[in-house]
Structure 1
Amino acid sequence: MNGQNIIEIQNLTKRYGSITAVDNLNLSISKGEIFGLLGPNGAGKTTTILMLMGLSEPTSGSISVAGLNPTREPIKVKRIVGYMPDSIGFYGDMTGRENLYYTAKLNRIPEERQDDLIDSLLAKVGLKDAADRKVREYSRGMRQRLGVADVLLKDPEVVFLDEPTLGLDPEGTAELLDIITELGKKEGKTVLISSHLLHQVQAICDRVGIFVKGKLVAAGTISELAQKIGGERAIEIKASPIEAFPSDVVRSMPGVNSISMQNDMIVIDGAGQELAPKIVRELVAQNMDIYHLKICGSDLDDIYHRYFQEGGASSNG
C-alpha cells in the first residue's frame, strides 16, 4: 500500500423501496490494498460492489474510484476495474483459451497482443496445461482461476471479487488465495473481496470491514478490531500433564487477572499477546506438552462473533 486512496465512499446509501441495502457507508481503500468486505448473505456487500462499478445507482451519497464517479462516468470506470461475480459464466463448448480470446475481443485488445497476453495469464493462474480443454470439463476451482485470468485481461487497476472461493476444496482455495495475494502484494493492484468466509479473508486481507444489515459496523486491521472490542484478553491452553501446570508462577506474572479450568482447557485472563510467550516458556521448562494455545479475541472468528452476538454491531467503527 502506498497511502493514496483509490476508492472513496461517503455517506453511501442504497434503498429498494422500504428496504435499505446499504446504509450510510463511509470507507476509504488505499491503492494496492487487499480489503475484505465481510458479512452474511444479504448484508449489502454485492450491492456496494455494483455501485462502485456503476452498475447500480446510489440513492444518496458519493463514490470515487481512481478519481472517477461511477454514476456519471460508468464507461471510464469499467475500463479500469475488473469484476469476478460469485457465479462465473463461460462458454462450456469453448476451451479456456478460446473464452479468453472472446473476452479480449470484447475489450478491444489488439490482436497482435492477444497471444502473448493470454499465454502469460493462463500460466499465471496455473491453467497452461488445461488451456485447450473444453471449459465444461473444468472443475469449479479451474473455472475460478480462469475467471481471474478473464478479469486480468484488461490489466485493471482495481479488482472486485465476489465470494471468489465459494464451493472450492481446500487445495483449490489455497491456490486461488495465493493468486489474489500476488495481485496485491507483487503487482500493486487494489483488490476488494466480498466474502462470508472468515479465515480466508483473514489470511490475505490487509484490512477488513464487517457488514451487518447494510451497515459497516467496523473496519480496520485484525489487531485494530480486536482492540476495539477489548480482544486479546484471554489465553486458552491445553497441556499435559495438567497437574504439572505451574499455577502459582503464572498467577504471579504481571498482567494475569485469573486462572480457571473450562472443560479440559486452562483459561488465563489477562493481556494475551504479552503473556503468551512467557507462559509457553514456563510450560516448556516444566516439561509439559502443549497441544493447543489460542489468544482469544485476536482472530477474525472471535471478532466477527463478538460484533454479531454481543451487540457490537450497534456501534459504527
Structure 2
Amino acid sequence: MKNPIIELEGLTKCYGSVKAVDNLSLKIDRGEIFGLLGPNGAGKTTAILMMLGLTEPDAGNARVCGVNATSNPIAVKRKVGYMPDSVGFYDGMTGIENLMYIGRLNGIAEHEIVSRARATMETVGLGGEMNKKTSAYSRGMKQRLGLADVLIRDPEVIILDEPTLGIDPIGIKEFLMLIHRLSSQQGLTVLLSSHQLHQVQQVCDRVGIFVGGKLLVEGNMETLSRNLFGEGSYVVQITFRDASPGFGEHVEALRNLESIRNVTIGESSMEVSCSEDVTPDIVRFLVQKGLNITGVHKKEFGLDEVYHRYFENNQTKHISNERSAGLFQRSFFKRNNA
C-alpha cells in the first residue's frame, strides 16, 4: 500500500466473553473501494464503530485519515461519512429539507446550504424528487438520500454498512454504479460492509473476508483465487465435435506443456487446470493435432467459491455468540447517538 488512509493494527473488542473483533489488522488505500465481506454477526459493525471512535477497542488502534479514532474521534467524524444499514429521516419534511437540516448540523454556512444541498441531491439521482416528503420515498430512495447525507459533508472516506438491504435488484445495481462513479470521479475512499457476495464483487477493488471476528484473508479476486486454489486457479473447459483417433495421446502430450497442472477428460470434452492463463497455447496445440473444437470457456472462481471455501463450515459455530455481541452493539450505538 502506497498511501493508506485507513490503518487498523491489532484491533480487538470483547463483549463479555465474546470476542467480536479479534486482532484485526488492515490497510485501505486512498481512493480504493474495499469490501468487508462476512455473514451477519461476523463483527463487521463492531470494527466500523471502532474506526469511527464510537466504541473503544480493548487492544490495538485505528487510524483514519491519519487520526487516531480512539483518542480523537471528533476529528475522524469531520473527515468520514458513515451510513448505517437503516437511515432515518423526518417524514414530514421533504428530501432537500432533511438534507439542509443535516448540512446545518454539520456547520455548512447558511449562504451555501441551499445550492450545496441541491447539487448533492442531483449527484445521488434525486434531483427530481427533492421536493417530495420522505414519507413518500421508497427504501432505495431513502438509501440514496442517506448517501447524500454523507456526501454533503464533503468527506474523504465514506463507510457504508449493508447499504443495499431491502432494495430491489434494479435499485441495487444503480446504487452500486453510483458508488463506483463517485469513487472514480471524486477520489473517495469507500469501505463497504456487506454479506452480499455478488454485490461486493461487482464494485470493490479488494475484498476482506471476515468471520468470527477474524479477517481470514484480503486481496483482489485473482489473489484470493490463487490463495485458495493454488496453481490450478486457472481452469479452461474445452468441448469437441468428436473424439478423433489419438485423442488420448494428444491429452497426454498436453499434460507435458508448461503451466499445465491437471487434465480431466470427459466424453467429448476436457477441463485443463493451469498455473497461469495459457488458453491460447492450449487451443493452438489442440488445433494443430487436428481436434475439432466447438467451445472454449475459461472458468473463473468468483466470491461464491471463495466465500464457501473459507467459512461455510465455521458460520454455524460462531453465529450464536455473535448474535449476543450484536445486541450489545446496537444498544451501545443507540445510546451514543440519542
**Which TM bucket (shorter chain)?**
0.7 to 0.9
Change (3 A) 1:134 1:269: same
Number of residue pairs matched by the alignment: 306
1:256 offset after TM fit, Å?
A: 3.3
Hey, what's the Cα distance between the residues in 1 that align with 2:156 and 2:174?
Answer: 22
Hey, what's the Cα distance between the residues in 2 that align with 1:200 and 1:264?
Answer: 36
Query: 3-state SS of the aligned residue for 1:161?
Result: strand
**Deviations 1:42-89, CA, capped at 9 Å, x for gaps:** 111110001110111111111111121222211111111101101111
One-letter amino acid of the counterpart of residue 18, structure 2:
I
Contact 1:250–1:279 (8 Å) recurs in 2: no
Alignment match, 1:235: 235
Alignment match, 1:144: 143
Hey, what's the Cα distance between the residues in 1 that align with 2:218 and 2:95?
Answer: 38
**Deviations 1:130-174, CA, capped at 9 Å, x for gaps:** 111121222211111111111001101111000112222221111
One-letter amino acid of the counterpart of residue 299, structure 2:
K
Contact 2:241–2:292 (8 Å) recurs in 1: no
Alignment match, 1:96: 95
- The farther-off stretch of 262-271 and 159-168 is 262-271
Report matched runs for 1:177-188 at 5 Å. 177-188=176-187
TM-score (ref. length: structure 1): 0.86
Change (3 A) 1:305 1:248: farther
Report matched runs for 1:102-251 at 5 Å. 102-231=101-230, 232-233=232-233, 235=235, 237=237, 239=239, 241=241, 249=250
Q: Does 1:24 find its partner at 2:23?
A: yes
Hey, what's the Cα distance between the residues in 2 that align with 1:249 and 1:95?
Answer: 70
Hey, what's the Cα distance between the residues in 1 that align with 2:267 and 2:292?
Answer: 22
Hey, what's the Cα distance between the residues in 2 that align with 1:242 and 1:140?
Answer: 54
Hey, what's the Cα distance between the residues in 1 that align with 2:310 and 2:30?
Answer: 28
TM-score (ref. length: structure 2): 0.81
1:268 offset after TM fit, Å?
A: 2.7
Contact 1:250–1:256 (8 Å) recurs in 2: no
Using the aligned pairs only, state the percent identity: 48
Hey, what's the Cα distance between the residues in 2 that align with 1:114 and 1:263?
Answer: 69
Hey, what's the Cα distance between the residues in 1 that align with 2:223 and 2:69?
Answer: 30
Alignment match, 1:286: 292
Alignment match, 1:252: 253
Contact 1:234–1:267 (8 Å) recurs in 2: no
Hey, what's the Cα distance between the residues in 1 that align with 2:303 and 2:243?
Answer: 32
Hey, what's the Cα distance between the residues in 1 that align with 2:138 and 2:239?
Answer: 42
**Deviations 1:10-37, CA, capped at 9 Å, x for gaps:** 1110000100000011111111111111
Q: Higher helix share goes to which structure?
A: 2
Alignment match, 2:277: 274
1:185 offset after TM fit, Å?
A: 1.7
1:252 offset after TM fit, Å?
A: 3.3
Change (3 A) 1:111 1:166: same
Change (3 A) 1:251 1:102: farther
1:241 offset after TM fit, Å?
A: 4.8
Query: 3-state SS of the aligned residue for 2:68?
Result: coil
Query: 3-state SS of the aligned residue for 1:186?
Result: helix
Name the larger-Rg structure: 2
Alignment match, 2:47: 48
Change (3 A) 1:141 1:286: farther
Hey, what's the Cα distance between the residues in 1 that align with 2:94 and 2:284?
Answer: 56
Query: 3-state SS of the aligned residue for 1:47?
Result: helix
Contact 1:233–1:270 (8 Å) recurs in 2: yes
Hey, what's the Cα distance between the residues in 2 that align with 1:31 and 1:219?
Answer: 17
Contact 1:236–1:265 (8 Å) recurs in 2: no
Hey, what's the Cα distance between the residues in 1 that align with 2:170 and 2:185?
Answer: 22
Hey, what's the Cα distance between the residues in 2 that align with 1:274 and 1:138?
Answer: 48
Change (3 A) 1:171 1:240: farther
Hey, what's the Cα distance between the residues in 2 that align with 1:262 and 1:89?
Answer: 56
Hey, what's the Cα distance between the residues in 1 that align with 2:137 and 2:269?
Answer: 45
1:251 offset after TM fit, Å?
A: 5.2
1:262 offset after TM fit, Å?
A: 7.6
Change (3 A) 1:9 1:233: closer
Hey, what's the Cα distance between the residues in 1 that align with 2:310 and 2:26?
Answer: 18
- Unpaired segments of 5 or more residues in structure 1? 312-317
- Unpaired segments of 5 or more residues in structure 2? 315-338
Query: 3-state SS of the aligned residue for 1:184?
Result: helix
Hey, what's the Cα distance between the residues in 1 that align with 2:269 and 2:98?
Answer: 54
Contact 1:96–1:146 (8 Å) recurs in 2: yes
Hey, what's the Cα distance between the residues in 2 that align with 1:81 and 1:181?
Answer: 17
CA-atom RMSD in angstroms: 2.8
Change (3 A) 1:120 1:283: farther
